[in-house]
Structure formats: structure tokens, C-alpha cells
Amino acid sequence: MRNIAGLDDAARRMMELLMEAGRRNSLRDPLAQLTETLELTPPQLHGVLWLGQDGPLSMGELARRVGVTEKTITGIVDRLEREGYVQRERDVLDRRVVHVRLTPRGREASDRVHAQAQESLGQFLGLLEPEERTALVRIFEKLVGRLSEFPAPHPETP
């Protein structure tokens, strides 16, 4: 990453601002309330959200997206499969690769999670003026563009 003067100060100030915002309003994941409703753990909920957003994913890619190891994603997918949210499918070209896809129940849950996340984010961004929201979106677009310059990290393997 770039070594920019004042980067440490900016990171420190962002941390201070996030802590101050947390004192005023919980910074808890806006999807957390759905974990109780759907009876899913946060990693399971995030897995359903990623599968709904991007379609079937390999176990390794799903592990990377959820932020867990491939060994851990196996347990997550096991429970999601038992509860009827996902199904596993072998890759046609490489039988060693397993893809995970949403079932109709999983699609319904994903749509609900996506709508809740969008509503929560809309409420949060509603605290800003329209031109401030535009600027913030532009900054995030720049950050995402810069992140795409780096290869995605590989999930840990046992």
C-alpha cells in the first residue's frame, strides 16, 4: 500500500470517530438483528448474503468472502444445508471442487437480508446531505477501485 504522510493520523482520527459514533448509536452489524429472526449465526447470514448477491460460489471463495478458513466454512455450509438454505454441487469439470448455491428458502432469506441491509444503510446515510452522500459514495468507489489493484487473499487451508 502507499505510504502517505498523515496516514497514521487519518487512521487514528477515523478510529476516534467510529468510537464516538458507537457511543451514540450501536455500531453493531445492521444484519445482526436478522440472525435471531432467521436463527442463523453471523457467518451463516453473511454466507447467505454473498450467495444471494453473486450466485453459486466455490467453498474456498465463500470462505474468503465470509472471512473464515475452508475448514470452518464446511461446518457453516453443513448447517445451512441441513436447514434448507443451500445445496452443494460438484463442479462438472473438476469433481474436487464443490460449489454452494441457494435453495428457494435461501433465496428468500437472502432477499430479506439484502433489503434489511439496504434499509439500515439508507437510514445511516440519511443523516447526510445529498451532496455529502455523493461525495462519500465517490470516496468508496475510489477505495474499491484501488483495492482491485491488489490480488484477493487466498483462504487459509488446513
| pTM of structure | 0.77
What lies within 8 Å, CB to CB, of 113 at 6+ separation is 31, 34, 38, 45, 48, 49, 52
Which residue has better confidence, 48 or 1? Answer: 48
Question: Which segment, 24-33, 37-46, 78-87, 93-102, is predicted with the most confidence on average?
Answer: 78-87
- Is domain 33-147 in CATH 1.10.10.10, yes or no? yes
CB 53 within 8 A of CB 66: no
Quote the percentage of the chain above a pLDDT of 70: 86
CA distances from 70 to 9, 39, 65, 119 (A): 36, 22, 11, 31
pLDDT at position 1 = 47
Q: Provide the mean pLDDT of the chain.
A: 86
Q: DSSP label at 57?
A: E
Locate the domains of the chain by residue range: 33-147
Return the pLDDT at 154. Answer: 55
For the ranges 5-9, 13-17, 24-28, the maximum mean pLDDT occurs at 13-17
Q: In degrees rounded to 5, what are phi and psi of residue 29? A: -45, 125
For the stretch 109-148, pLDDT in tens is 999 888 888 888 888 889 899 999 999 999 999 999 998 8
Confidence band for 20, pLDDT divided at 50, 70 and 90: confident
CA distance 146 to 135: 17
